[in-house]
Structure 1
Amino acid sequence: MLESNDNRNFMRMSINADAKVTFHKSGETQSFNAVCLDLSAEGLSLKVPVELEKGQQLTAEVVSAGGVPSLKATAEVVHSQRLEDNSGDYILGCRIISMD
């Protein structure tokens, strides 16, 4: 599904794909499983089990199916919102810095 929003330069594509997120905090590397909800040329949104602060850089590896290589991107958190479904999960809006 493609979505359009007047505040965005690029359309977003809903993908709901498994992802692995890695980030560095206090000198430690931390990783966890996530879900990439949508993706555009400039950013992605992730459903994650922990809160990350605005400005935090991370690496997201979005798993592809059918032999297609995974997408690996370095991104920066631009907003974080806790879900109201009592799951304890957060939705992160991230700006893509680079793709590997």
Structure 2
Amino acid sequence: MLESNDNRNFMRMSINADAKVSFDKSGEEHSLDAVCLDLSAEGLSLEVPVELEKGQQLSVAIVSSGGVPSLKATAEVVHSQRLDNNSGDYLLGCRIISMD
């Protein structure tokens, strides 16, 4: 499904795909499983099990199937909010810095 918002330059596509996220915190590399909820040319939304701070840089690999290579990007957390679904997960809005 494609969604549009007047404040966006590009359409956002819902994908609900498994993703791997890695980031450096206090000099240590961390990685976690995530779900990429949607994706556009400039950004993506991730559901993650931990809160990450605004400005945190992430390496994101969106897992694909059928022999198609994973999409890999470097992104920056623009906002983070706890989900209201009692899962304890967080919704991250991220700006894509580069595609790897």
Q: What is the distance in 1 between the residues matched to 2:68 and 2:5?
A: 28
TM-score where L is the length of structure 1: 0.98
| Structure 1 alignment gaps of length 5 or more | none
Moved over 2 A (4+): none
- What RMSD in Å do the two structures reach over aligned CA positions? 0.5
Q: What is the distance in 2 between the residues matched to 1:96 and 1:85?
A: 26
Q: What is the distance in 2 between the residues matched to 1:35 and 1:4?
A: 21
| Structure 2 alignment gaps of length 5 or more | none
TM-score where L is the length of structure 2: 0.98
Aligned to 1:57: 57
When the two structures are aligned, how many residues end up with a matched partner? 100
Q: How does 1:35-46 map to 2 (within 5 A)?
A: 35-46=35-46
Give the letter aligned to residue 74 of structure 1: T
Aligned to 1:99: 99
